[in-house]
Amino acid sequence: MSNRSTVTEFLLLGFSDVRELQILHAVIFLVIYLVALVGNLLIISAIVLDHRLHSPMYFFLVNLSVLDLGSISATVPKSMANSLLDSRVISYAGCVTQLFLFLVFTSTDLALLTVMAYDRHVAICQPLHYERVMNRRACVHMAAGAWIAGIVNSAVHTGNTFRLPFCQSNVIDQFFCDIPQLLKLACSDSDLSDVGLIAFSVLLGLHCFVFILVSYVQIFRAVLRIPSEQGRHKAFSTCLPHLAVVSLLLFTGVFAYLKPPSSSASNLDLVVGVLYAVLPPMLNPVIYSLRNKEIKAALKKLMGWRLISTK
């Protein structure tokens, strides 16, 4: 990072220059952040305190909730603070940190969702071998592998992005530091970096998507062969939320990173940024709790304990 002195700070794109709308943006983001915070903490607490949920699927779900908390905390608080202070500034070091953390959490999120698809595949397609295949040691290794993959992926992309000198401008056309917008600011030829980034990201995302898709094709074939309607409903109730989460993360993320870059700021960039950086961490607890009877029962039990303890 020898070219660091060229740019010492960046200016993030605001949602509006009107003071009242800036306050409104801060309030909306605060509500979203609190919903995500409370929702994910409830999921974690319910699973940790209910021994019936100490199974591989819910172990991975706890990890997913931790990732969601980290992901939304890396972007939303800074955007809220800037709106409240009528500022757009983020320091060079702050931008590096924000990008690194955001990529760690989102990359690990995708890797973990792939592991969760494998867990559901074994549970439904090979139920007799489930306890042997998805033992405690294997689950810990899979979760650790997802975290390591996310950290390595983030380090590679963050280092590749910030090794470039930024001297054309310091205005980022997004409300947080994101790779596509940062690459537009590079004053050297970043074509190779763009190609390398896109190739690596597409390869990783495609590999995960194909694995998840193949797993769910086999899962749905197995589910349709279940004789009882109750059994089919239970299987679908655990699979459909996971598929919805994967689809939301993948399609919005791929669109954000692969759409043709524009030379000027676009409202579409802001909308897409919100769709893949802000909404998934808020919606994931809702999606999982609404379709999962065991989670809903654990949440009711948790809330019952809280009511009793306050009396």
Q: List the domains of the chain with CATH numbers.
A: 4-310 (1.20.1070.10)
pLDDT score, position 40: 92
Return the residue matching tokens 């909308």.
Answer: 271
Are the CB atoms for 83 and 22 separated by under 8 Å?
Answer: yes
- Nearest Cα residue to 14 out of 96, 105, 78: 78
The stretch 12-41 carries a mean pLDDT of 90
**92 Cβ contact list (under 8 Å, min separation 6):** 4, 7, 8, 9, 10
Residue 49 above 60 pLDDT? yes
Q: Which residues lie closer than 8 Å to 168 by C-beta, 6 or more apart? A: 185, 186, 187
**Has residue 125 got a pLDDT over 90?**
no
Percentage of the residues of the chain whose pLDDT score is greater than 70:
84
Nearest to 121 by CA among 239, 294, 240: 239
What is the Cα–Cα distance from 203 to 157, expressed in whole angstroms? Answer: 14
Higher-pLDDT residue of 164 and 45 is: 45
Query: What is the distance in angstroms between the CA of the first residue and the CA of the last residue of the chain?
Result: 58
Q: How confident is the model at residue 222 (pLDDT cuts 50, 70, 90)?
A: confident
- Whole-number pLDDT of residue 177: 92
Q: Phi, psi at residue 9, to the nearest 5°? A: -155, 160
* 89 pLDDT above the threshold of 50: yes
- Quote the pLDDT of residue 199: 67
Tell which residue, 28, 26, 30, 39, has the closest CA to residue 68.
Answer: 39
Predicted confidence at residue 2, as pLDDT, reads 45
Q: Which residue has the tokens 């299987």?
A: 235
Kind of pairing between the strands at 89-91 and 9-12: antiparallel
Q: How far is CA 62 from CA 66, 71, 72, 137, 242, in A?
A: 6, 14, 16, 16, 13
Q: Name the residue among 44, 45, 50 with its Cα closest to residue 64.
A: 44
| pLDDT value at residue 73 | 95
pLDDT score for 92: 92
pLDDT band at 137 (very low <50, low <70, confident <90, very high): very high
> Is the CA virtual torsion 240, 242, 245, 248 positive or negative?
negative
Query: CB within 8 A of 301, min separation 6: which ones?
Result: 46, 50
Q: What is the mean pLDDT of residues 74-96?
A: 92
pLDDT at residue number 295: 79
Q: Which residue has the tokens 């043709």?
A: 260
Check pLDDT > 90 for residue 127: no
More confident residue, 279 or 262: 279
Taking residues 30-53, report their average pLDDT.
Answer: 90
pLDDT classification of 65: cutoffs 50, 70, 90: very high
Tell me the C-alpha distance between 281 and 71, whole Å.
7
pLDDT band at 306 (very low <50, low <70, confident <90, very high): low
Residue 68 reports pLDDT greater than 90:
yes
The DSSP result for 195-216, as a single string, is HHHHHHHHHHHHHHHHHHHHHH
- pLDDT at position 4, please? 44
- C-alpha angle with apex 114: 109 to 118, nearest 5 degrees? 140
pLDDT above 80 for 261: no
pLDDT at 16 over 90: no
Cα distance between residue 307 and residue 302, in whole Å:
9
- Report d(CA 13, CA 122) in Å as an integer: 45
The mean pLDDT value of the chain amounts to 82
Span 248-266, average pLDDT: 66
pLDDT value at residue 120 = 87
Higher pLDDT, 268 or 91: 91
Decide if pLDDT at 187 tops 80.
Answer: no
